[in-house]
Structure formats: structure tokens, C-alpha cells
Amino acid sequence: MAGFWGRRRREEEALAAQDADLARRAEQSLVATDERIRTTSDELAFAQAELGDSLTADLKAALDAVRLHMQEAFQLHQLNHDEIPDTDEELRTRNARIVQLCEWAESLLDEKTGDLAETVAKVRRAPQVIAQVRRDAEALSARIPQARETITRLSSRYAESAMRRVASSGDEAEQLIEFAVHGADVSERRRAAKQNEEANLALETATEAVRRAAAMLDAVEDFEIQALRAESTLANVVADSRGDIVAARSAPQTPEVAQAAAALEAALGALAPAGTLNDPFAELTQLRSANTALDEVIAKAHYRIQHPLPSVAQVQNALDDADRQLGVARGLISGHRGWIGADARTRLAEAERLRVDVPTMLPAEETREHALASARRVAQLAAEALQLAQRDIDSSRPQDPQPWGGGGWGGGRRGGGGDIVSGVLGGLVIGSILDGIFD
């Protein structure tokens, strides 16, 4: 008994220490949050003077929400120190709520002041960013004559369909550069008018315009290399395609192989003659597609030779065997509903569900092989359901021997229903094996 009271006293002391620590944390959090509200209010006032009300609206709304919810925290703290005595549970609940409100207020103010700091930094960096936009625009303008010269040279070598992606890049880049310079000017004027939000928007659009102009001019320079690479790859694909056409003559001559070989020959014939303008990108794409299609049908023809397509009669025989095994399993399980476990019933349900899909796969050649595999799977699941059902029936029968039967209720187990079902199961399994051999 002394040990019980000693443990009880230690638990009370530990709980009292936790309550004291929680009360101390609540008071410290209140003081810290109150100070944070004051400093954030000062930061908001300075930011409004520099940025205006529009860019500081989020911080102002967050500060108003914090002040509103912190009134609850101060009221709870006042209740903890009034003249009305409180229970330990009431004090614990109030202090926990105070800590929760203070942590929420600190987190919200941290998030919004961080966003405001980024906005302030962006506004203060605006002169440097504007100067960089103008330097980049000047450098890009110097690249435009070279880009136009490159486009003119490439136009004499490649077809219009190939040049479409870069034909107007010089003019578009020039327009974007002019737009970027105009955006920088607008940003300066809006900043001078203390319209910082509009100034930031104009500066962001100017920066994006410079980036897009640089990407267009880079694309012109990269196009020549990409076209040369495509021409080199096209020559290799042409040689490979001609070899594939020769190999297709010794492949199994199915209608699909003949059609794919003709399509590849047509793609080779559609190539632009030497010395004329061509589109290496489009020609390479078309030739690759025809080459890949021929490889696929040849591989499919070889596979069909190694794995002949089963006939409808073979699939029907397998389906008849599955139906026989399903019928035996279904009859045994439905006749012993109270004795059959979940495993046997699950196997039977899965077999019946799979059996429904087999007739829809039978007519089409593409799915006939799958239909044969599904029919055999149905037979296997039915056989498993029958075995599991027989196991459940045998385990549910009384096992005590009787003086007049010599083996349990309804006669001996060796000569009872178990042997009959085992014989049927054995016959069905042997029949399934023979069907598989003759198939």
C-alpha cells in the first residue's frame, strides 16, 4: 500500500511540474507575441510609406487577424489570475490554448513579413534590374542582323516546312526587344510616381520579353546544328530501311508484312531528290515510323510461326472442360453451404467471373490466345475450389468412430463422400491434362 501511495504522489508531482511549465510558457508566449505585434506594426508603417497600401495589404490583413484572435488569449490569461478559484484542468486547458494562439500568430506574421521582405527587396533592386534589361536588349539587338543572315542562308538549303520554326525569329525577337525597352521605361515612370505595384508588373514583363528574345535568337543558331544532325541520321535510317526491305522478302509473307514493306518503300520514294530543298525533320519522322512498323509486323509474324494461333475448336474444348469442373465445384459448394470456407468460395467466384469474359475473346484472332489461357485458368480455379471445399467438408465431419459404422457418421471416411469427390476431381484433372496434350 505504501508503494501505491508513493507512486501516486510522484505522478501528482510530475503533473504539477508540467502545469507550472505550461503556465510559464503561456506567459512568455503572450509577452513575445505582444512585442511581435508591436514591431510588425512599425514594419508595416514603414513599408506602407515606401511601397504604398496595395503591396502591403496582405501583411495588414494578417496583423488585423492576429490582433483579433489574440484578444481571446489575453482574456484567458486574465481569467487565470482573477479572484475566482480554478481547477487544475481549467488552468491547463486555458494555458494550452494561449500557447496555441501565440504559435499561430507568430507563424502567420513570419510568413507575411517574409513575403513583404521579398517585395521590398524587389522594389529596391528595380534600378539595377532596369539597367540590366537595357544592357541585355542592346546586346540582343546586335545579334539580330546575324540571325537574319543565318535564316536567309538556311532558307536556300531547307524547305519552307523545315524553316517555319525559325523563319520569323529575327522579326519577333526585334519586337520583343522593343517591348522590353518600353516596359523598362514604364517601370521607371511608375516608380517615380510611387506606383510600385504597376512598376513591378512592367519590370517583370520587360524581363520576360528579354528572356524570350534571347531564346528565339539562340534557336536560330541551334537550328543549323539540329538540321545537320537530322540529315546525318536520315542517311543512316535510309540505309537501314533499304536493308529492312530486303530482309522483309525472306520474312513470313503475311498481308501485314507486305503492307508495311510497301509503306516503307513509299516513304523512301517520297524523300526529296538530291540537290532540292528538303525537310530533314519531317522526312526522318516519317521514315522512322514506317521502319518501326515493318520491324513490328515482322517480329509478330515470326512469333506467330513459333506460337501458332489456337483454333476455335481448341478454345471451345478447353472452355467445355472448364464448364464441367465449374459445375462439379458449384454443386458441391452449394450443397454444403454451412461447411465451406471463404477460400473455396473465393476461388469459385473468381472462376465464374473469368468465365464470363471468355466468349467475348473467342471470335477475334488477336484475343483467341488469351481466351485459351483464360479458359484453362477457369478450370484451374474450379479445381482449386473443389479441393478446398472437400478439405472444409472433411474437417467439418465428426471424427469419433461408431461401433456400427467403423468410420464416422454416414459410414467410413475412406468409403464416404470424400472418396467420391476425390474420384471426380481426379477424373477432371486427368481430362484437363489430356485436353491440354491433344490441344
pLDDT over 90 at 13, yes or no: no
Q: How much is the mean pLDDT over the chain?
A: 82
Which has the higher per-residue pLDDT, 426 or 189? Answer: 189
> What whole-number percentage of the chain has pLDDT above 90?
21
Boundaries of every domain in the chain: 17-124, 126-227, 230-306, 312-438
pLDDT reported for residue 213 = 94
pLDDT over 50 at 433, yes or no: no
pLDDT reported for residue 5 = 53
* Average pLDDT for 204-211: 92
Least reliable range by pLDDT among 152-156, 177-181, 190-194, 394-398? 394-398
pLDDT reported for residue 117 = 83
pLDDT reported for residue 408 = 43
pLDDT over 70 at 273, yes or no: yes
pTM of the model: 0.52
pLDDT reported for residue 143 = 93
pLDDT reported for residue 409 = 38
pLDDT in tens, 247-257: 888 888 888 88
Which has the higher per-residue pLDDT, 171 or 306? Answer: 171
Q: Could you tell me the pLDDT band of residue 137, with boundaries at 50, 70 and 90?
A: very high
pLDDT in tens, 167-198: 899 999 999 999 999 999 998 888 888 787 78
Which has the higher per-residue pLDDT, 313 or 397? Answer: 313
pLDDT in tens, 340-384: 888 988 998 998 898 888 888 877 777 888 888 888 899 999 999
pLDDT reported for residue 147 = 92
pLDDT reported for residue 14 = 67
Q: Could you tell me the pLDDT band of residue 322, with boundaries at 50, 70 and 90?
A: confident
Dihedral sign computed on CA atoms, order 276, 280, 285, 288:
positive
pLDDT reported for residue 435 = 43
